[in-house]
Amino acid sequence: MSEKINLEEYVLSEDEEFMSVNQRAYFRAKLIAWRNDILREARETLEHLAAESANHPDLADRASSETDRAIELRARDRQRKLISKIDAALQRIEDGTYGYCEETGEPIGLKRLDARPIATLSIEAQERHERREKVYRDE
């Protein structure tokens, strides 16, 4: 099922059956493009870190360089976690569970998925989850 869909031309529509072939192809293409962008940025980060690994004789320069390196590595870790969520979303597309709330089984909604293609909860379920988290944090 490797249909090509033009992301610029296709428009998500509530009139279509939820998670139709076109919608699945749209989200698959969107997720793959997102993952490719992250991987490209990661390669650029690694190239930058390799170029920056020069030993700075000045202590302030070295400290600044180390701080920059730590920030870039934290960003890379977040990107690695994001790639794993993208891969999980792609797997859900393949197994037919993509677009449905993990908690309720109801459709998540096209607008939410378009804004956050890795979403696993409907807005209502996400809000309940965040309220529970806040209660535990406040205790």
41: in domain: yes
Domain count, the chain: 1
Encode pLDDT of 19-50 as tens digits: 999 999 999 999 999 999 999 988 887 777 66
DSSP 70-89: HHHHHHHHHHHHHHHHHHHH
pTM of the model: 0.77
The enclosing H or E element of 22 equals helix 21-52
Domain that holds residue 64: 21-98
CB 65 within 8 A of CB 56: yes
Q: Is residue 134 in some structural domain? A: no
In a domain, 13, yes or no: no
Kindly state whether residue 116 falls inside one of the protein's structural domains.
no
- On whether residue 15 sits in a domain, the answer given is no
Q: How confident is the model at residue 2 (pLDDT cuts 50, 70, 90)?
A: very low
Torsion of CA 119, 122, 126, 132, to 10 degrees: -140
Q: Residue 59: give its domain's CATH number.
A: 1.20.120.910
